[in-house]
Structure 1
Amino acid sequence: MSYAIVYSSRTGNTALLAKTIREILGEEACVYFGPPDAQALAAQTVYAGFWTDRGTCDEEMARFLQSLTDQAVFLFGTAGFGGAPAYYGQILERVQANLKESVRLAGTYMCQGQMPQAVRTRYEGMEDSPRRTAMLSNFDRALGHPDAGDLERLRQAVTR
């Protein structure tokens, strides 16, 4: 079975997940690895990775997902805010809305990803409030993610 790994990664978090999937599956049946590109459409299964942009995938990945026709797709992604499976579920629903009915969803995986220091600096500049405190706390919890536990859970999701 041929596969492609297509990913969009702004900070390297989703790229780490993509590289881990390639290690899990091996390179023999991999027909494409990289950013969204029509070359990936030749694969029977597409592993499509994204970073979360305003509660969904970025526009480039959305366009790519809309171009899929009859492949199986495994969606994986990272989000700066994490810890709540319901939140990840909402993101995945929005991302799945880009898929045609003929595309079969083979699986999903999401985890928290660390954010750039500029985000923390922006949060620190906000007016003191419970929201600011929560955002700073989440930023600090995200440091180091995806971590070894995240990658093991990804491995389990891919090999199911």
Structure 2
Amino acid sequence: MKTDQYSILFSSLTGNTKKLADAIHETLPEEGCEYFGAIKTPVPSSELLYIGFWTDKGNADNETLTLLSTLKNRRIFLFGTAGFGGSDAYFQKILGQVRQSIDPSNTIIGEYMCQGKMPQSVRERYMKMKENPEHPANLDALIKNFDCALSHPDSDDLEKLRNLCRLR
């Protein structure tokens, strides 16, 4: 196992998590990077892995969960995006779900999550639902959240992540 190198692996459905991965890659020393890119097998041999995911039903996407379940004796920095956001409690709940897939032989050295924009089709679906007189009571809140998410990850989100990575 390569202890002086790191790898950045990520799964990004809409490009939000890739933006986070790019920010990490730009922040860390280039000479220490063994691998940067999509989740792959075999897993790079770096002891330190930055692993990014997009949120699917309150947990990491399946590809990331599969990767995490195979790792042993690694140092892991988790990072991810979620369309619904604005609440650290919500992000912590997701990270808690993700951590359940990680073997206890691993050490989580850091975590970061932020909101990410969603596809326009989500808003269109909400607007279509609104046409129904018996639409969900929280539909306006969902539309407001969608509109808020359009700018994320933003420069503040990326700078917070860069600062966390500089501390490692």
> TM-score over 0.5 for the alignment?
yes
1:68 aligns with 2:74: no
Q: Tell me the CA shift for residue 47 of structure 1.
A: 0.2
State how far apart, in whole Å, the 2-side matches of 1:110 and 1:133 are. 24
Q: Tell me the CA shift for residue 158 of structure 1.
A: 1.3
1:122 aligns with 2:129: no
8 Å CA contact retained: 1:32, 1:39 = no
Q: What's the CA shift string for 1:53-82, capped at 9, x where partnerless? A: 000011111010111111100000000001
Query: 5+ unaligned residues in a row in structure 1: which ranges?
Result: none
State how far apart, in whole Å, the 1-side matches of 2:6 and 2:69 are. 18
State how far apart, in whole Å, the 2-side matches of 1:29 and 1:103 are. 20
1:105 is aligned to: 108
TM-score normalised to structure 1 length? 0.96
Letter in 2 for 1:29: G
Query: 5+ unaligned residues in a row in structure 2: which ranges?
Result: none
Superposition pairs of residues 7-156 of structure 1, within 5 angstroms = 7-126=10-129, 127=132, 128-156=135-163
Larger radius of gyration: 2
Question: Post-superposition, which runs of at least 4 consecutive aligned residues in structure 1 deviate over 6 A?
Answer: none
CA RMSD, 1 decimal: 1.1
State how far apart, in whole Å, the 1-side matches of 2:16 and 2:136 are. 29
Letter in 2 for 1:86: A
Q: Tell me the CA shift for residue 37 of structure 1.
A: 1.6
State how far apart, in whole Å, the 1-side matches of 2:146 and 2:27 are. 29
Q: What's the CA shift string for 1:108-146, capped at 9, x where partnerless? A: 000000001001001111144531100000000001100
Q: Tell me the CA shift for residue 36 of structure 1.
A: 1.4
Q: Percent identity?
A: 46
